[in-house]
Structures are given as C-alpha cells and as structure tokens.
Amino acid sequence: MNVIADLCIVPIGVGVSVSPYIAACQPILAEAGLDITLHAYGTNIEGDWDAVFTAIRHCHEAIHRMGAPRITTTLKFGTRTDREQHMADKVDSVKAKLAQG
Amino acid sequence: MNVIADLCIVPIGVGVSVSPYIAACQPILAEAGLDITLHAYGTNIEGDWDAVFTAIRHCHEAIHRMGAPRITTTLKFGTRTDREQHMADKVDSVKAKLAQG
Amino acid sequence: MNVIADLCIVPIGVGVSVSPYIAACQPILAEAGLDITLHAYGTNIEGDWDAVFTAIRHCHEAIHRMGAPRITTTLKFGTRTDREQHMADKVDSVKAKLAQG
Amino acid sequence: MNVIADLCIVPIGVGVSVSPYIAACQPILAEAGLDITLHAYGTNIEGDWDAVFTAIRHCHEAIHRMGAPRITTTLKFGTRTDREQHMADKVDSVKAKLAQG
C-alpha cells in the first residue's frame, strides 16, 4: 500500500534549535528509498507503507540516540485505492485548478 | 519502544458521516492489545511501537474494504527515553499543576 | 460559526516537562466560555470561531510570558453547515455504531 | 505576533477530489498578504497572527459556500519570541546542517 505522508518531528528537552535533529532524519528517509521533499513545516514522504513507517521509527530512534529524551511527532498520511497518485500529482492537481481560474 | 498516540482517521469520498468507519477501528485497536480512549476528535492509543502502527495499518485496510476510496489521517505520537509514562499520567500531570494553582 | 477543535500546544526550549504550560492554558480556555475536555494528547475545545481562536492566541501569549521562547502547536478543527453537532455528539455517534455491532 | 503555519484543509462530503477546494483557498491566502507555498500535503503560510487566522476562516467559509457541508482541517503553527524567523530560514537551517554532514 502506497502512502503519501507529511512528517513533522519535534524533539523536546534539547533547547530551542531543532534543526540538527530534523537534518539527521533526511538521510534516514532518503536511504530507505523514500521520495522526500523538505518544506518549512515538515517533510513530505512517499513510499510503501512498511518502508515509510520503518524509516519514521528509525528517525525517532536516531533522535533519541542524539540525546533528545522526548519526541512528539505530527504525521499526516493518506492512502487511496481508487487510483495511483504521487506527491507531484497532488500539487499539479491544485495548480491545474488554479490555472483554470 | 512505547508510544502514546492520538489517531484521527478521515475517510474521503463516503459522504458526510464518518462515524461508521471510526467505529470499525475501535475493535481493531482494542484487539491488538492497545490501550485506547475515544475522544471528540480522535482516539488516544498507547502500546508498543509495532503493535500501534500495525493496528493503524489494519484500520486503513478495513476502511478501504468498507468502501472508502481515500483516507487521510492525522496522527500525533510521542516517545520518550527519560522515564516511563502512560496516557493517564499525562492527564494527571496537567491536573496536578491545575490543583496547585 | 461553531468550531470543534483539538489543541495540542508544545512549548520548545523549556525542558522536558511541558505540563505546567498546558495547565496554564486550561483556565484561559475555560474563562473564554469554551467547552473543553482535556485528554492524553491535547484538549478538545468547542465554541464560536472567534472565541476559540482568540483564546488559542491568549494561550500562546501566556506560554511565551511564562518563558517559552518557541511554541509549536498542532490544531485540528472542524466546521459544518449541514447540522448542529457538539463534542459529545461525535463520541456518541461512534459509540452508537459500536453498539449496533 | 508572526506565525509560520502549515494548513491542510479537507472538505468532507464532496467526493474524492478535493483539489478544487484547495485551489480556491490559494488566492484567499495570497490576497490576505500572506507568504504561501503549496506542497504535497498542505500549504505553508507566514504572516501576522490575525491575518493568518482571518484568512483561514475565509477559506472555511469559501469551501462551505462551494457546497462542502463539512470540513476538517489540520493546522500546525509556530510562534517564537527569541528571534525573527521566516519560512525560508527554517528550510535553510536544516539544509545547512545537512551540508555540514
């Protein structure tokens, strides 16, 4: 089952700068073979269900190993059975509607 | 790794009433041995990482089988390594602070 | 416009215990005349749109005044025009479906 | 108070294609003077607190007027008092950490 997700991981108890922890997740997600795009409030991820959720677990484990005692994550994710859809399709679909006025 | 989560599953393309789909998830989560509490905007879940995420996958699969062509889910989840914490502890902790004024 | 919401405020840069900050929000929300229910991963809120969002702003301001330099919040909120619905209705609706088997 | 947000609006009861509704929000947000970036699972928004939340209300109102009887939205938003930060800074900060290895 293919999943399109939006991952926002927030380490708690490591001070105000969380970017080193977010940066540490990017290669974990990429090396899992997932399609990823970083944005200003999270990372879009696309891949097979198991690959996506295993990689997210590895992110949590890595951030704890970096010293964060606590993590809270907000994850949005979608599945569909009616047709194949990829991340770029979702953006293109909205942009096509905008172009139509 | 223990996880405390908040699951909000939204089936899309099945009309305005989503409660039959949410109801279908409750036994799936409970039978997976998870501790669950339904609230007005989701279901609190606690359990081992693999049990939690496997059960959530089974919820998506069940809702698709019920006829929903598309699902979008918002999931918050937290892990911590500094101490053991359960769902009731989180609520108690806030209530204790409130009682202190 | 009536709103049912689920508020999860996370202060960043104040250490691992966030419950004092969450506790500080409860009277702000209650004194704004909102119907609130604390759960293990947030607070359910119901009220008029402006009252809800003004109170949430007051929560952010109060938490910053308590010393949190940074806050990230996850808010789910719903509106509907087809019928009146309250927080208890949402839970009851799922429970009714469960009772039907 | 400046806010950086991530808005994901889901109209319910209008079938499986939600892109026309998402597209309708883009000019509402842009004409409110907000800085916006569409991504595969939402729209990043930056602006003054009141402008951001007023525009989001206008999005809900517009989508209801388009015929959606029900809407559920997931919104992440952050404020900070320690320093000024813009959306591009957040992405740059992670990319700088990645470049450092």
For the complex shown, is ipTM > 0.90?
yes
Check residue A74 and give its pLDDT: 98
DSSP A29: H
Total length of chain D: 101
Query: H-helix or E-strand containing B87?
Result: helix B87-100
- Taking the Cβ of residue D1 and every Cβ of chain C, the question of whether any pair is shorter than 8 Å is answered with yes
Cross-chain residue pair D76–C80, CB shorter than 8 Å: no
* Tokens (6 digits) for D78: 């952050």
Q: What angle do CA D52, B41, D56 make, to 5 degrees?
A: 15
3-class secondary-structure state, position A37:
strand
| For residues C20-49, average pLDDT | 97
Among B16, D12, D83, D6, residue whose Cα is nearest residue A41: D6
Among A20, A18, A48, residue whose Cα is nearest residue A34: A48
Check residue D100 and give its pLDDT: 85
- Taking the Cβ of residue A81 and every Cβ of chain C, the question of whether any pair is shorter than 8 Å is answered with no
- Taking the Cβ of residue C82 and every Cβ of chain D, the question of whether any pair is shorter than 8 Å is answered with yes
3-class secondary-structure state, position C86:
coil
Q: Are D76 and D32 in contact (CB under 8 A)?
A: no
A38 phi/psi in degrees, rounded to 5: -75, 135
pLDDT class of C43 with cuts at 50, 70, 90: very high
Q: Cα separation of B42 and B59, whole Å?
A: 13
Q: Cα separation of C76 and A53, whole Å?
A: 22
Check residue B56 and give its pLDDT: 98
pTM, full prediction? 0.97
C74 phi/psi in degrees, rounded to 5: -115, 125
Check residue C100 and give its pLDDT: 86
* Tokens (6 digits) for B56: 């959530």
Predicted confidence (pLDDT) at residue C14 exceeds the cutoff of 90: yes
Check residue C13 and give its pLDDT: 97
Predicted confidence (pLDDT) at residue B54 exceeds the cutoff of 80: yes
pLDDT class of C97 with cuts at 50, 70, 90: very high
Among B27, B41, B9, residue whose Cα is nearest residue C98: B27
Closest partner residue to C13 (CB to CB) among A15, A70, A72 is A15
Cross-chain residue pair A74–B76, CB shorter than 8 Å: yes
Q: Per residue in B18-53, is it b (16+ CB within 10 Å) or e — as a string?
A: bbbbbbbbbebbeebebebbbbbbbbbbbbebebbb
Predicted confidence (pLDDT) at residue C101 exceeds the cutoff of 90: no
Cross-chain residue pair A69–C13, CB shorter than 8 Å: no
* Tokens (6 digits) for B50: 């693999």
* Tokens (6 digits) for A86: 């990829």
One DSSP character per residue, D41-85 reads TEEEEEEEHHHHHHHHHHHHHHHHHTT-SEEEEEEEEEEESSS--
3-class secondary-structure state, position A67:
coil
pLDDT class of D24 with cuts at 50, 70, 90: very high
Average pLDDT, chain B: 96
Condensed to tens digits (0 to 9), the pLDDT of residues D65-80 reads 999 999 999 999 999 9
